[in-house]
Structure 1
Amino acid sequence: MTQTTEPAPLPVESFHRPARIHRAWFVAAVTFVTIIGAAAFRSLPGLLIDPLHLEYGWSRGTIGAAVSVNLALYGLTAPFAAALMDRFGIRRVVAVALTVIALGSGLTVWMTSAWQLLLCWGVLVGLGSGSMALAFAATVTNRWFTERRGLVSGILTAASASGQLIFLPLLSWMVEEYDWRPAAVTVALAALAVVPFVWLLLRDHPADVGLRPYGAPAFVPGPEPVRGAARRAVTVLLSAARTGPFWLLAGTFAICGASTNGLVQTHFVPAAHDHGMPVTAAASLLAVVGVFDVAGTVASGWFTDRFEPRRLLAVYYALRGVALLFLPMLLAPAVHPPMVFFIVFYGLDWVATVPPTLALCRAHYGEDSAIVFGWVLASHQVGAAAVAWLGGVARDALGSYDVVWYASGALCAAAALMALVIRRGPAATARAVA
């Protein structure tokens, strides 16, 4: 009697004809569009400072405090959002986050007191945007891609700048020609418009559609839902906090946030307006930052796949610091070629720091890298929040932003030195030995 053995069952993808384009790229495209739609809210705070100051008489420090709460919650929510995505899935978390953003932005139309600005724009939009933070891009990249992670993380990071490019000129025109309220409603509608795309087209894991991750040698089963999302986020933080690279990454990224979201994105338009530049012209310059940010971030992802990430970070921060030191001399009533050069240069460097920072998190923290990056991103937003508030306070006290530009340039020089101190991760060391 001959004994026969049944063949092992094949993964679901074995029964499908291989596609020319892996579905991971379509998921990345949906993620890109989602982040673009959600980026509208990030274009608005810098445009609201002068209109709210004129209409309600609130100080720039008070308005900056609301932006500060927004930025801080954006960062502090991110690590918990990454853990929630592991528990409930990417689609559910992102769809709820977009709805909260729309609610917070829409309610600002009826506010009459500063505490309502803090609640709507600071708390609600901050919590919603934190769940749509770069931890979303990191989770999608880690689940759907084994190869080209640097490139994909660069593209998804650039999506936020693309949203700024699309919405900033439109919102500045609305604020100038009509009022800030139509701009707030536009942000709410843009966030809601993306929800159907997320729910219908996004998938949580390649295994959900019977595929292996892009570049993976074998089929990877989908992860089981992880309970205790908040506990896991805190546990990962406590574990990472016992390592030196975490504090260096958190410190450099805090300076990154201070010199981008906190300073330039929040205060560039009112600072340029102080020198006589029209608001629409200043907003258009920030939109140009968004154009070159896309190119710079995608290029940074490509470089990250080929060069040592910590050295890339040192170069990026050093160049950013030099640019900020020259900015006070470039502000004028009209846009001159040196200012255009600054905008192009700063745009290329805006969030070019994200792909190498993500790569260092993966090298040091492996499967927990998305949550660790969420905490690193929290430091980014805490730095941004501090400068968003301090920049407004400095403007109220000194009548100028010059001291803030110089201080941020010095901080960027410190970040360049900190990046060089970060040691290689185990994965990078193994590749170097090989």
Structure 2
Amino acid sequence: MQSATVAGYESHATNEFAQGWRVLVASLLGIGCGLAAMPFYTVGVFAPHLAKEFGWSFGEIMAGLTITTVVVIVAAPAAGILCDRFGTRRVAISSLVMFGLAYLSLAMLGNSLVQFYVTWAVIATLGAGTLPITFTRTVNQWFDRHRGVALGIAMTGTGVFGVLCKPLLAWVIGGWGWRAGYVALGLLPLALALPAVVLLFREPLQATLAEGTAPSAELPGLTKSEALRQWRFWLIAIVLLPISFSLAGAVPNLEPILLDRGIDQATILTLTPLIGLTAIAGRIVGGWLLDRFWAPAVAFVLLGAPAISCVILASAQLDPGMARFAILLLGFALGIEYDVVAYLTSRYFGMKSYSAIYSVFYVCFATGAGFGPLIFGIIRDWSHDFAPALLSAAVALPVCAGAFLFLGRYPQLK
């Protein structure tokens, strides 16, 4: 097991979880209480309260997420470089502290959109080290044979947070107001994720880190500049944009899509939670598949299948049973997307500059996801129907997911 040996420890594959479970627990909590999950799952909860308090429109409030996406385009690659240079543990600890404190500052908002937007820019900048870029690097170092499942477990942090955050916020906001809700969120990375990372999160190269040398120096793989000269790098980067655009464009607009199709609000409330639950299952099952089959084929099947969902949702007549099936396919794909990219990065480009390389892919995915809901909404306003956007996504998903099949066999990295 080359990566394990290079990382400074020898372990039979069956013993990977016995040695790496601490890293998985810390990664799950770190990702779940980090920038990848907290803003996107909670902004809708606070929107009605901010609109009532300050008179802001929902569009003005949601623009905070767009600002976050734009800042991440710059901050994520910077965080990746820092991880490769100084180690993921240092970056994760520092970023969790700053991210939590920045989130707490939202409790002190005044009636100023400028303050609101600047705060989101600061949150995205300081919280970039809590993105999966950081944690998946170390998970990849600890796991080889069971890497797919391990990545899936670590990434379930986003889904677990998505399921639990709304009941928590409903209780806090109902009892103490929306400002207390922001305090509760800001405390999560500080009181929950930070202790777990401090106590449990270790890189196999801790001895090297203690000596102050670059932790990636002995790891196999390509440097970022070498990866940029590879056609495989650009193939992955290019196809991620339309894939993330198609998936993220449909999911946040799911409720209005179902309303347009004549499904009543009560039924919709029973359908939409399936996204988060199925995403959790998708991460585990998808990880298991990645460990047993060629990753590009798994990516093609799982990321191309939601084209069926888009066709179903675009149909004029939609019954709750078919809607449920479409939502399950979408949720499963959402549960595997970042895991697939992390896995492909480690197998095709290695661990030497993993964070720097993966951060570029993450930016591509985040860009598509950040603008997808907006463009879907614009198309709906223009055509009075989501069908044109959904049918375009139905074409893009299998075509772009099929491009992964051209990646070929995993290279032997040195």
Structures share a fold, TM > 0.5? Answer: yes
Q: Percent identity?
A: 21
Of 161, 164, 178 in structure 2, the residue corresponding to residue 163 of structure 1 is: 161
The answer for the alignment partner of 1:243 in structure 2 is 230
Which is higher, the Rg of structure 1 or of structure 2? 1
The answer for the alignment partner of 1:305 in structure 2 is 291
Give the conservation status (yes or no) of the 8 Å contact 1:78–1:130. yes
The answer for the alignment partner of 1:378 in structure 2 is 363
Deviates more, 1:137-146 or 1:402-411: 402-411
| AA matched with 1:300 | G
Of 292, 298, 323 in structure 1, the residue corresponding to residue 278 of structure 2 is: 292
Q: 2: distance between equivalents of 1:125 and 1:329? A: 40
Give the conservation status (yes or no) of the 8 Å contact 1:75–1:380. no
Give the conservation status (yes or no) of the 8 Å contact 1:82–1:135. yes
Instruction: Give the drift of 1:323.
Output: 0.8
The answer for the alignment partner of 1:346 in structure 2 is 330
The answer for the alignment partner of 2:4 in structure 1 is none
Of 236, 241, 246 in structure 2, the residue corresponding to residue 259 of structure 1 is: 246
- Per-residue CA deviation, residues 236-277 of structure 1 (Å, 9 max, x unaligned), is 5443222211122112322343234x4245433565677786
Q: Measured at CA, do residues 407 and 165 of structure 1 come closer, stay the same or move farther in structure 2, by a change above 3 Å?
A: same
Instruction: Give the drift of 1:50.
Output: 5.6
Task: Give me the CA root mean square deviation.
Answer: 3.8
Q: 2: distance between equivalents of 1:20 and 1:368? A: 23
For structure 1, the residue ranges without an aligned partner over 5 or more in a row are: 1-11, 211-220, 230-234
| AA matched with 2:313 | L
2:101 is equivalent to residue 116 of structure 1: no
Q: Measured at CA, do residues 265 and 78 of structure 1 come closer, stay the same or move farther in structure 2, by a change above 3 Å?
A: farther
For structure 2, the residue ranges without an aligned partner over 5 or more in a row are: 1-7, 217-221
Q: Measured at CA, do residues 241 and 116 of structure 1 come closer, stay the same or move farther in structure 2, by a change above 3 Å?
A: same
Alignment of 1:44-193 (within 5 A): 44-48=42-46, 52=50, 56=54, 58-109=56-107, 110-121=109-120, 123-171=121-169, 180-193=178-191
Q: 2: distance between equivalents of 1:146 and 1:84? A: 23
The answer for the alignment partner of 1:387 in structure 2 is 372
Deviates more, 1:390-399 or 1:24-33: 390-399
Q: 1: distance between equivalents of 2:321 and 2:168? A: 24
Instruction: Give the drift of 1:173.
Output: 7.0
| AA matched with 1:202 | L
Instruction: Give the drift of 1:299.
Output: 1.3
Instruction: Give the drift of 1:319.
Output: 0.7
Instruction: Give the drift of 1:381.
Output: 0.5
Instruction: Give the drift of 1:392.
Output: 4.6
Q: 1: distance between equivalents of 2:371 and 2:204? A: 39
- Per-residue CA deviation, residues 85-128 of structure 1 (Å, 9 max, x unaligned), is 3334333322332233333433334142333332223x123224
Q: 2: distance between equivalents of 1:322 and 1:174? A: 39
Instruction: Give the drift of 1:377.
Output: 0.8
Instruction: Give the drift of 1:364.
Output: 2.3
Q: Secondary structure at the match of 2:198?
A: helix
- Per-residue CA deviation, residues 150-203 of structure 1 (Å, 9 max, x unaligned), is 221121122211111111344467779986544433322222222542453134
Q: Measured at CA, do residues 206 and 20 of structure 1 come closer, stay the same or move farther in structure 2, by a change above 3 Å?
A: closer
Q: 2: distance between equivalents of 1:398 and 1:111? A: 37
Give the conservation status (yes or no) of the 8 Å contact 2:240–2:361. yes
| AA matched with 1:426 | P
